[in-house]
Structure 1
Amino acid sequence: MQFDRNGADPGGKMQSGSGEVRFDDCAVLVTGAGRGLGYETALLLASRGAKVVVADNGSDKGGDNPDVSRAAAVVREIRDAGGAAVECTADLSFLAGAEQAVDTCLSAFGRLDALAHLASPCPPLKTPSDLVERDLDLVLRTNAQAGLWLARTAWPHMASRQFGRMVFASSAGALGAPANADYSTAKSAMIGMTRCLAVDGAAHGILVNAIAPAAMTRMTEGFHPGAYADWFARTMQSSSVAPAVAYLLAHACELTGELFSIGGGRIARIVFAETEGEMMGANSIEAVRDCMPDVLADTSYFYPKNLQERSEKVAGFLGFSEKR
């Protein structure tokens, strides 16, 4: 294994400064690092000097038949290439597991600078009438619950140093996809979690962002055979997503509360927008019906960064002013 991951530069060209983006003396916790996007991210970070906690409990797509040897194999690969890494196979969806992961990082490296929560199961596609409790519980615990427990446990260590970086994996599936309600629900939760943590972290130097990756992983292996599936397998490699994740974890990154669509060498910003809307004129069902064409006209958007900014904007539409 060569440690130059296809010559990828995680963000050096995106910043006004110059030079290689490095992670020397930084300790980073990467979940889902046994394979896929987590694996590529862990190797890329290690190649740039990061000390990496490879967190992966070896579960397959449905959470069964865990292979705990995967984390150890990635650690060996990093060490064989001259990097520094330790493994963690704890179940991060419980507070005790998240604490174990953070403690592993602190014990091995004496610090925790950043975390990337990329682990996620992908339950079999099911229509709403076929949803099962086990799948929903698994995907919510592994995504949102684990993300919050990791943030809770890492928070005091980052806040005490006035520095931290967090990246969480959402999904374009949050936009809506057939037979995907349980998975999309969990991934949508990651967006709200990211934006709230970004608000809370601003005073402590903790920057929090989310990604919606498109990559060939275990989750996309089930695409129906055809031209699109073949193109996706060739184009959407996990190695093309890892540089953006690494950039968002770097000291050079000053972004927070953002959601990025990443895949195939493309990166785009996903935004929340609200139209300025229409005043109904009367408080009635009929008034709502009559103004709906104008509400849906998709004009005059604003883009609130957080709930406070949105509330102030809407209050202004409704005539409120603190100066009165």
Structure 2
Amino acid sequence: MNILVTGANGFVGSALCDHLLQSSEYHLFAALRRLPSQLPPGLTPLPITDFSDLTPHLHQIDVIVHLAARVHQMQDTAADPLAEFRAVNTTATANLAQAAAQAGVRRFIYLSSIKVNGEFTPMGQPFAAQDVPHPQDPYGISKAEAEIQLRSIAQTTGMEVVIIRPPLIYGPGVKANFLSMMRWLDKGYPLPLGAIHNRRSLLALSNLVDLIITCLTHPAAANQTFLASDDEDLSTTDLLRRLAKALKKPARLIPVPMPLLQAAAQIIGKPALAQRLCGSLQVDISKTQALLGWTPPVSVDQGLSITAQHFQQSQRQ
């Protein structure tokens, strides 16, 4: 099977390509804006400046895994963030999918985001795949609009589309807030996060890769939208404790009440930070499990251990 991965040198793409290259049943093509100094055996690079450069190659592709995106920006400096997100995440995605359908590509797997559903959930009321989308920021809106375009292309051309909406993904090489948490814990900083009683779904990188590989060929995946998680929801406090254990470090967590944390965040002008730390965001993966017979192969503690080991190895280099 010939598979094309966009965003192949990104956080998810690198892990997916590494896994696919271990199997002789896949011939892997990678769309790359920059070529690494060394390419792994078995990978065919397709240098691009934009997705239109892929058109001459699409006739030989069976499945596209589209991971490339303009990612969520904590402090976006673009004059019109929504226009920037739409240009890459919506318009360019739809153009690639349309060209793929015309070239005879059988299946298009799209990595979307749980932000299509929304930003938070009431405790114990997880998002479900069939919920009406409610994106609230430019990134989520651009992903939701891409999903609409892809479903339309699938309906008019017959190319199968599979949409996966992950929550926060963690694993070796993770960046942003998760990396910051590991650094705080590794240095032994006391953190005022010992009394947070929310619930959040996470997704280990290994589990996402396994789900994508399942969707490459599973007949029940065609034209479906799937939510994904590790199937165990954690509070921020529990996550920090278990991450500290994976790092073999003490968790110095001060039990500051959530209302005080939220008030302090308002005072310093960072209410969104309080929402991420104190709010809940749960996803229901029962549809994914039922239709695909899929169970996350890696537990939360295993995923945290793999992530922590990679972090500590990188710190020693």
TM-score by length of 2: 0.55
Write the mapping of 1:276-315 to structure 2, written as runs, cut at 5 A.
none
Question: Over residues 39-93 of structure 1, what are the superposed CA-to-partner deviations in whole Å (9 max), with x where a residue is unaligned?
Answer: 2222323323211121232xxxxxxxxxx234x64xx22x1xxxx222234233x
Structure 1 residue 165, shift from structure 2 partner: 0.8
The alignment partner of 1:53 has SS state of strand
Which ranges in structure 1 are unaligned for 5 or more consecutive residues? 1-25, 58-67, 271-324
Structure 1 residue 103, shift from structure 2 partner: 2.4
Which residue is 1:119 aligned to? 68
Distance 2:215 2:205 in 1: 16
Alignment partner of 1:185 out of 141, 145, 154? 141
Which residue is 1:145 aligned to? 91
Write the mapping of 1:146-295 to structure 2, written as runs, cut at 5 A.
146-158=92-104, 164-177=106-119, 181-202=137-158, 206-214=159-167, 215-216=169-170, 221-222=176-177, 225=181, 236-250=203-217, 252-264=218-230, 267-269=285-287
Q: Which has the larger radius of gyration?
A: 1
1:241, 1:264 within 8 Å by CA — same for their partners in 2?
A: no
Structure 1 residue 242, shift from structure 2 partner: 1.2
2:5, 2:66 within 8 Å by CA — same for their partners in 1?
A: yes
Write the mapping of 1:88-99 to structure 2, written as runs, cut at 5 A.
88-92=46-50, 97-98=51-52
Letter in structure 1 aligned against 2:22: S
Structure 1 residue 32, shift from structure 2 partner: 1.0
Which ranges in structure 2 are unaligned for 5 or more consecutive residues? 121-134, 182-192, 233-284, 289-317
Distance 2:286 2:146 in 1: 18
The alignment partner of 2:109 has SS state of strand
TM-score by length of 1: 0.54
Percent identity for Structure 1 against Structure 2: 17
Structure 1 residue 264, shift from structure 2 partner: 2.4
Structure 1 residue 30, shift from structure 2 partner: 0.7
Distance 1:180 1:69 in 2: 35
Structure 1 residue 256, shift from structure 2 partner: 2.5
1:28, 1:114 within 8 Å by CA — same for their partners in 2?
A: yes
Letter in structure 1 aligned against 2:210: P
Return the structure number with greater relative CO, CA threshold 8 A, min gap 6. Answer: 2
Which residue is 2:242 aligned to? none
Q: Report the CA distance shift for 1:164/1:236 in structure 2 as closer, same or farther (over 3 A).
A: same
